[in-house]
Amino acid sequence: MTNFRNDFPILKQAIHGKPLVFLDSAASSQKPQCVIDTLVHYYQQDHANIHRGVYELSVRATKAYEDARVTIQKFIHAPRAHEIIFVRGTTEAINLVAQSYGRSRFQAGDEIIISAMEHHSNIVPWQLLSEQCGTVLRVIPISDSGELDMAAFEKLFTPRTKIVAVTHASNVLGTINPIKEMTKIAHTHHVPILVDGAQALPHMPVDVQDLDCDFYTFSSHKAYGPTGVGVLYGKTELLEKMPPYQGGGEMIETVSFNKSTFKKLPSKFEAGTPNIADTIAFATAIQYLEKIGMQTMVAHDQALLAYATQKLAEIPELRFIGTAKNKVGVIAFVLDDVHPHDIGTVLDHEGIAVRAGHHCAMPLMERFAIPACVRASFGIYNSREDVDALVAGLFEVKRLFA
């Protein structure tokens, strides 16, 4: 297993006198040196506002920003660069679709299909829309192993179904959902589908044309890029009919006190000065992934997942939350009689960073009848030694709470 740890300067430090073992990439991945270098170079050499300046710095910044759009377009195999809309993150992307596509089309009694494993970011925006328009949420149930009930999914469709919004990979369970199959089913009913790809994109190749999804959303910071940048991919024919989500500079064609007109895609949805530097650095992160190769990423992820699952299963009183056949490198678990927050605190003193809590998935916690759980999630910088450290740390937890 190739070790890319040296590419990530933050991992060279010690925590509480122990080497840092970072197992919280599902919350936010660490950044390789090349991404940090891009940010420094931009601010030292190229910073200026983009699109309207005719001077050299603005021209360079604009080119780098728009080149980033093309880099991301090609990475997810989107047909056209203008189908890549830059936002602050997956959360804003989903809100954009809910408010622009949904609010302009949906009426009281219309139905939105989501799943029981969704992150709050793919629940709350649709609830807000329901409060505004009177729409109804329909929820796909999941099995005890953490897999969608596909038969139940098909039965949820009615003439009032207006959109499906579902995660590609669960941020808690790690479950990879059959998006291509779900898209075919949705399209059979003439219903569009939005996919939350925040957890999938760092772990697997994504081809939006092959999936045939109507919207695909993801975040930079979970894919080795900076915080504060995300992407909404949408099919041209849908985006063109959607009204602007926000108003301001750059997205306008003309403005008068009587009426304003708006630019074409993608500018229509990118009001105001964007997060220029971090967007450019996100493209560097994508290029880093491409250099490694997504098949290498998949092989590393799956090998580490298999090793960790085997080792953790040997710990008495440990129970996995989510045992789907197809998973990304995310493992959630509980230890009998030890609160997840106590586990996280003890592991921190061993230099091990995991996430403990409800993971922005309270309905999922309720489904498994637990208040919280511990989550270990892997990145390209993790190794079997990290897993061994986690296992040793958990035995220390058991010793302290025996």
Residues acting as catalytic residues: 360
- Strands (DSSP E) found in 41-101: 84-87
Q: What three-state secondary structure class fits 137?
A: strand
Contacts of 305 (CB under 8 A, 6+ apart): 174, 327, 328, 329, 331, 378
Q: Tokens 């505004």 map to which residue? A: 132
Can you tell me which residue has the tokens 């949906």?
106
Residues contacting residue 242 through CB under 8 Å, at least 6 positions apart: 100, 101, 104, 234, 269
Per-state percent for the chain, helix, strand, coil, to nearest 5: 40, 20, 40
d(CA 42, CA 330): 34
**CA distance linking residue 358 with residue 187, whole number of Å:** 33
Helix (H) and strand (E) counts in the chain: 14, 17
Dig out the tokens for 203 from the structure: 């772990």
Report the candidate in 8, 3, 51 with the shortest Cα–Cα distance to residue 33: 8
Q: What torsion do the CA atoms of 180, 99, 278, 329 make, to the nearest 10 degrees?
A: -40
Any idea which residue has 């990530």 for tokens? 8
